[in-house]
Amino acid sequence: MTVLQRDAFTQTVEVPAIRLPTCVLNRLVKSLKKVALHRPGLKRVVDDDQGNETDGEHRLLLLDPQSFKSAESFGPDEAAALKASGVEPEIRRYQLKLTYENLKSEEVLRAVLPEGQDVTSGFSRVGHIAHMNLRDHQLPYKNLIGQVIIDKNPGVTCVVNKTNTIDSTYRNFQMEVLAGENNMVAKVKENGVSYEFDFSRVYWNPRLSTEHERVVSLLRRGDVVFDVFAGVGPFSVLAARRGCSVFANDLNPESYKWLQHNAKLNKVETKITTFNFDGREFIRGPLRERLPDLLKSSGSSSAIHVIMNLPALALDFLDAFRGLLRGDTDRGPDEAVLPRLHVYGFSKEDEPERDVLKRAEISLGTSLKTRCDVHMVRNVAPNKEMMCVSFNMPRDVLYGEDVVEEGYLEEPSPKRQKHEETQ
């Protein structure tokens, strides 16, 4: 089946049921919920109209045939509840009509996909959009899969499949609509904040909600935040709502547009200054221009944070900080109040913490071993981790000559070169 035929799933199956007196029915239904049948659109309690007695004083509780085989399947708690109510287990066999509406996504897909092939019903939810990553053997069934996802998930009105890898320039990817409406403008709520954006033209990952909250929880009212790769604003808007002054940048014109929109949507547009630059250009331009004055005024009551959430490339951009304030006659405050950076990177190495730290040190040209924290954000794929390196910017990097320490000199990253060429 490559075109969904819902009527083909109608069938009658036999399931176990326990006959219960109506006077204790409600109490026993709660006590037996672990073994009761749970099916979308089906009632667990039915009339005893298939038995010999129809006196109205008894009803049947349908049981899950996967977990209940006989009266001995009742656990100690269930058995005790039945005994306390004076009920001797009387098991019946009930003829149950199942339809497409009563089946779960996995069951429908397992029935239509060739036997032995993986069944994919998982997806990322972005507002009304379900985003899937189908494998090659599932593509002949892609439209059927999309329709099943819409049918089984209230609120989902569009199902899309990623058709290429994330673009290294704008962090978005091409997608194909599998089912439903072709409406890519999503409305989502994350950490109490509302966002709107065109999902087909910007980057958004609902799995990063916890990380956004973790980093912003480190900020205090009055802090200054430079969000180098801001996207549509999941860090920036949340930080502004916390009372921070935010300078947010993104190279993608669409992300820049929705970043401004989300600032207004959440009434923090006066707290966020937006830019549409390349990350390195933003660091050496707007950030460089504002940093000396911010350092003079910063202290125990406020701090400066730089967020660099572009895991594929952010570590390579750290070299933009080498000698950024070289020549500034005011050497600034103690290193403890120099900007604190939160830089993201992917790693496929056996020791991802060590890997991302080493790459950060190479870009900066100095050691960070005694002054940084490395946090594991999430597992992206088998043998691929997303990491966050947090550290206070070393004074020798910020104010020194653009010369690396011995042992930290390497060729520029090929990924960075490729990124720059696409600008």
Which tens digit of pLDDT belongs to each residue from 136-166?
888 899 999 999 999 999 999 999 998 766 5
282 three-class SS: helix
Residues near 241 by Cβ (< 8 Å), separated by ≥ 6? 193, 266, 268
Copy the structure tokens of residue 178. 């599998």
User: Looking at the predicted structure, is the pLDDT value of residue 8 above 50?
Assistant: yes
pLDDT tens for residues 181-234? 999 999 999 999 999 999 999 999 999 999 999 999 999 999 999 999 999 999
Copy the structure tokens of residue 132. 């899937």
Question: Residue 419: its pLDDT value, please?
Answer: 35
Rounded Cα gap, residues 353 and 219, in angstroms? 23
Task: Identify the CA nearest to 275 among candidates 291, 303, 308, 253.
Answer: 253
Q: Enter the pTM of the model.
A: 0.80
Rounded Cα gap, residues 227 and 279, in angstroms? 9
Which helix (H) or strand (E) covers residue 293, if one does?
A: helix 288-297
Reported confidence tier of residue 417, pLDDT bands at 50, 70, 90: very low
C-beta of residue 31 within 8 angstroms of C-beta of residue 76: no
Residue 102 backbone zone (phi > 0: left; psi -120 to 50: alpha; other: beta): alpha
Question: Residue 327: its pLDDT value, please?
Answer: 81
- Residue 212 assigned ligand-binding role: yes
Rounded Cα gap, residues 129 and 158, in angstroms? 5
User: Looking at the predicted structure, is the pLDDT value of residue 410 above 60?
Assistant: no
Mean pLDDT across 101-110: 90
Beta partners for residue 149, in sequence order: none
Burial, 46: exposed, middle or buried (Cβ in 10 Å; 0-12, 13-18, 19+)?
A: middle
Reported confidence tier of residue 352, pLDDT bands at 50, 70, 90: very high
Question: Residue 407: its pLDDT value, please?
Answer: 47
Query: What mean pLDDT value characterizes the chain?
Result: 87
- Residue 251 assigned ligand-binding role: yes
- Residue 250 assigned ligand-binding role: yes
Reported confidence tier of residue 264, pLDDT bands at 50, 70, 90: very high
User: Looking at the predicted structure, is the pLDDT value of residue 409 above 90?
Assistant: no
Question: Residue 11: its pLDDT value, please?
Answer: 92
Longest dimension (CA), the chain: 98
- Residue 279 assigned ligand-binding role: yes
Question: Residue 164: its pLDDT value, please?
Answer: 65
Question: Residue 416: its pLDDT value, please?
Answer: 38
Please tell me which residue, 353 or 72, carries the higher pLDDT value: 353
Reported confidence tier of residue 421, pLDDT bands at 50, 70, 90: very low
Mean pLDDT across 105-113: 88
Highest mean pLDDT among 70-79, 294-303, 397-406: 70-79
Reported confidence tier of residue 405, pLDDT bands at 50, 70, 90: very low
One-character DSSP codes across 196-263: EEETTTS---GGGHHHHHHHHTT--TT-EEEETT-TTSTTHHHHHHTT-EEEEE-S-HHHHHHHHHHH
Question: Residue 7: its pLDDT value, please?
Answer: 92
Helices assigned H by DSSP within 234-383: 236-241, 253-265, 279-282, 288-297, 352-364
C-beta of residue 294 within 8 angstroms of C-beta of residue 244: no
DSSP at 138: G
Lowest mean per-residue pLDDT among 146-150, 170-174, 240-244, 295-299: 170-174
Question: Residue 3: its pLDDT value, please?
Answer: 87
Mean pLDDT across 63-69: 86
Copy the structure tokens of residue 236. 């920036």
C-beta of residue 315 within 8 angstroms of C-beta of residue 290: no
Please tell me which residue, 336 or 363, carries the higher pLDDT value: 363
Reported confidence tier of residue 10, pLDDT bands at 50, 70, 90: very high
Beta partners for residue 15, in sequence order: 94
User: Looking at the predicted structure, is the pLDDT value of residue 337 above 60?
Assistant: yes
pLDDT tens for residues 72-101? 788 898 889 998 898 888 888 999 999 999
